[in-house]
Amino acid sequence: MDVIDTYQYSKDELVEILRKNLNEHSLLYLIGPQGGGKTTISIKMADENVGAIYEGRARSAQPVIVIRRDLLDRMKTEIVERRKLPIFDGDDPIYVEVTMLDKLNSIIENVFDLMELGEEQLFKEMKQLVEPIGIIPKQIEFTSNEDVLLNRRLQRHKDASDRLNELLAKEKKYGIKSNLLGIQGARVMDIINRDGVGKYEESQYSRTVEDFDATISTKDMNLGQCLIKMVEISSKEGKESGILILHTKDGEQEIISDLVVGKQENSMIGVTLLEVYVGFRQNRSMYQTYTSSTKGELEVIHSFTPQLQQMVGMETLGTMNLDMIMEEDDTGILSVADTSAAERFGIMISVIDPEGNIGSSNPERVEELEKLLFEAYKEWDSKHVSSHT
């Protein structure tokens, strides 16, 4: 597998690299962390030689599949299955013929999006699909250093509409197929006719810094001060806020994000923090769905507001309705959504409510945070008294 550091090349150079690879290999499978440039460069290189650009549409770091036009044309006609339908023409069953392209779309949706089995499983099944006709997909990883990736994720919403408009224009010009419904920060307005680009609606989650109501620098703040600020925001404004902590092997705790404040309508603090400040890939292990390249254990600390907690629970658990969440959620401050997310992302999640009560997916962490909060309040009281004497 080729690994390309996208910081070492200009966009034009990356376009040429990808075009050369597509000329040599009719099916490309692009993987890599968020901000690596997979979608951006695929759109820029799209021309009359490109038949399709597909993505897995799960929450994090979708792989991008680029299919050369001649292969796409063949996949449209190559029959891989005759599926019996539960209807009859007289006494004879009726069959529907499934093309290789139909099967590919099904694999993407089921393996990556619905079952979340990971990018390795998606590649394996895609490879098995096309091998009978002599096609060997090529994997290419787009990556860069963490500072570059973070900056790209922080800025990605700014040109999202331009990139999506470019894709839709090329789809029409060259007849390119695509399943992209949006790019973080912009979405296709008419998904049937593949037309029009707009922003995500208030009830949708685009997972960019635009989802934050405010961003507060943590540069001069310690963890205790952050906790006090989070309590203040949740009690006075009724909004969720959160930060990311990196626990290193030597026992250090480092704040690695700003303190971000969510909007009242659609707060997805935890997932958005992880996607913007860390970047995750879908690479399922036994229970954990997402992985990152971060060295150390990650912790999301977010404030608790009952209404937003319920909304996040419905988003995280998908098919579970609010009554089910309320019935099953007997964990107190830490919700079922939090414990589920802790397993899926392989991280620690801690929660603080407007009264300063704390819960955590790691029970030992509760006492540590309570002590930090207590000491921070003592320091605050001391300074407050001194300023009035």
**pLDDT recorded at residue 265:** 56
pLDDT confidence band for 251 (50 / 70 / 90): confident
In angstroms, the Cα distances linking 24 to 49, 116, 215 are 12, 30, 46
**Dist CA 59 CA 140 (whole Å):** 21
Side chain identity, residue 78: E
Residues with Cβ < 8 Å from 286, sequence gap 6 or more?
none
**pLDDT recorded at residue 204:** 65
Question: What would the pLDDT profile of 257-274 be if each residue is shown by its tens digit?
Answer: 999 998 765 567 888 888
116: left (phi over 0), alpha (psi -120 to 50) or beta: left
**pLDDT recorded at residue 94:** 81
Arithmetic mean of pLDDT, 11-24 = 96
Arithmetic mean of pLDDT, 146-166 = 91
pLDDT confidence band for 330 (50 / 70 / 90): very low
pLDDT confidence band for 325 (50 / 70 / 90): very low
**pLDDT recorded at residue 262:** 86
| In the predicted structure, residue 248 carries a pLDDT above the cut 50 | yes
**Dist CA 119 CA 97 (whole Å):** 27
- Percentage of the chain exceeding pLDDT 90: 49
**pLDDT recorded at residue 366:** 94
pTM, rounded to two decimals = 0.83
30: left (phi over 0), alpha (psi -120 to 50) or beta: beta
| In the predicted structure, residue 4 carries a pLDDT above the cut 80 | yes
Q: Which one, of 270, 282, 259, lies nearest residue 312 by Cα?
A: 270
**pLDDT recorded at residue 89:** 66
Of 173 and 382, the one with more pLDDT: 173
Instruction: Quickly tell me which residue has 């404040």 as its tokens.
Output: 261
**pLDDT recorded at residue 102:** 93
Instruction: Quickly tell me which residue has 């593949």 as its tokens.
Output: 194
Q: What number of other Cβ atoms are within 10 A of residue 371's Cβ?
A: 11
pLDDT confidence band for 326 (50 / 70 / 90): very low
Mean pLDDT taken over the chain = 85
Arithmetic mean of pLDDT, 108-113 = 82
**pLDDT recorded at residue 67:** 97
Residues with Cβ < 8 Å from 265, sequence gap 6 or more?
202, 203
> Which pair of structure tokens corresponds to residue 301?
């600390």
pLDDT confidence band for 83 (50 / 70 / 90): confident
Helix axes 363-386, 223-237, angle to 10 degrees: 80
Instruction: Quickly tell me which residue has 């089995």 as its tokens.
Output: 117
Instruction: Domain ranges for the chain, please list them.
Output: 2-198, 209-386
* Least trusted range by pLDDT, from 82-86, 278-282, 348-352, 367-371: 82-86
Of 206 and 225, the one with more pLDDT: 225
| In the predicted structure, residue 319 carries a pLDDT above the cut 50 | no
| In the predicted structure, residue 190 carries a pLDDT above the cut 70 | yes
Chain centroid to CA 336:
20
> Which pair of structure tokens corresponds to residue 115?
């079952």
